[in-house]
């Protein structure tokens, strides 16, 4: 990591920054990236296996199997979070468990569990949607903007198939 030099710092502050940088533990970036890649990939592989099971054993089409597959992953994530297992996996895997849909379900369930003592409405519901609110708003705004772009620039597209 490149060191920033700030000329406004006193010599004592500069000495402290050098000392802190020297004793700060080095982060194993390559190993962390590999763990995130493998764990995120395994979650996605599990999702694809579940989707294929819905197609082959449940009679779903390829397109229609995606919804139930996502629901199974969300339910599994919430259950693993409730039993404290997901957090242990996430400590090892890092960002690999935060990116897929399971990471969002984990964050929602964790927030609900954390705010449970405050009551159902002001605790669980408010806590969950404080976290999810920004994600929901971003998704809604992004979908609106993309819809407008499609309506303007894609010939014959009027929201239909």
The per-residue pLDDT for range 86-110, each reduced to its tens digit, is 989 989 988 888 877 888 888 888 7
H or E element that contains 5: none
The per-residue pLDDT for range 143-156, each reduced to its tens digit, is 999 989 988 888 77
DSSP H helix total and E strand total for the chain: 6, 0
- 87 vs 94: CA distance, rounded Å: 10
Is the Cβ–Cβ distance between 104 and 135 less than 8 Å? yes
Q: Tell whether pTM > 0.95.
A: no
H or E element that contains 123: none
């Amino acid at each position: 990591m490149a060191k920033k030099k700030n000329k406004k710092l006193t010599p004592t502050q500069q000495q402290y920054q050098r000392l802190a940088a020297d004793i700060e533990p080095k982060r194993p970036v390559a190993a962390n990236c590999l763990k995130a890649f493998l764990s995120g990939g395994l979650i996605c592989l599990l999702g694809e296996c579940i989707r294929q099971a819905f197609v082959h054993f449940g009679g779903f089409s390829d397109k229609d199997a995606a919804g139930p597959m996502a629901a199974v992953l969300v339910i599994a994530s919430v259950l693993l979070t409730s039993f404290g297992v997901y957090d242990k996996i996430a400590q090892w895997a890092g960002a690999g468990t935060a990116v897929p849909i399971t990471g969002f379900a984990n964050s929602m369930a964790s927030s609900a569990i954390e705010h449970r003592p405050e009551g159902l409405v002001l605790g669980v519901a408010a806590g969950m949607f404080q976290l999810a609110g920004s994600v929901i708003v971003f998704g809604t705004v992004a979908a609106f903007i993309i819809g407008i772009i499609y309506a303007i620039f894609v010939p014959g597209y009027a929201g239909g198939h």
